[in-house]
Every structure is written in structure tokens, then in C-alpha cells.
């Protein structure tokens, strides 16, 4: 996954909730723009889950992003 693609999802106005799938098969939902953050370098994506647990993901290990249902 490219940093540019992720940046477009994170910065989209209005925000569209999306799901991130990792190479290991884990899935995380970015449900609100206040709870998702792409690092300045674009190397790490942090998503706070609905349980308010932060998940720090290496951008290079993200295999897919799609609109949440």
C-alpha cells in the first residue's frame, strides 16, 4: 500500500469510514477522523479502535483499504 493512498483516505473531506487490512489478515476500522493518524513520515498509521486501544501499523504491511460498511 502506498503512503499517498493512505493519506487520501485519512484526509478525505468529508471523512469516509474505512477498513484497513494487514498482510497478516487483521482488520481495523477507522470510524472517525479524530481516531486515525498517519505519521509525518507516512511510515506508520495509528488507528484507535472502538475500545479506544491504539493500533500502530507499518504502512508497508497494509494490504488493502476499503470503505467500511
The top-level CATH class assigned to 3-67 is mainly beta
Phi and psi of 11, rounded to 5°?
Answer: -95, 5
Which ranges constitute the DSSP H helices of the chain?
3-11
Query: pLDDT value at position 50?
Result: 87
Domain boundaries, the chain: 3-67
For the entire predicted model, the pTM comes to 0.88
Q: pLDDT, tens digit, for every residue of 2-53? A: 889 999 999 999 999 999 999 999 999 999 999 999 999 999 999 998 889 9
Could you tell me which of 36, 35, 28 has the C-alpha nearest to residue 8?
Answer: 36
Task: Indicate whether 1 pLDDT > 90.
Answer: no
Whether the pLDDT of residue 69 is over 90: the answer is no
pLDDT number for residue 26: 96
Amino acid at each position: 500500500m502506498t503512503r499517498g493512498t493512505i493519506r487520501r483516505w485519512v484526509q478525505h473531506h468529508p471523512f469516509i469510514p474505512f477498513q484497513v487490512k494487514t498482510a497478516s489478515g487483521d482488520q481495523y476500522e477507522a470510524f472517525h477522523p479524530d481516531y486515525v493518524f498517519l505519521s509525518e513520515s507516512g511510515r506508520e498509521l495509528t488507528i484507535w479502535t472502538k475500545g479506544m486501544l491504539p493500533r500502530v501499523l507499518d504502512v508497508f504491511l497494509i494490504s488493502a483499504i476499503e470503505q467500511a460498511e
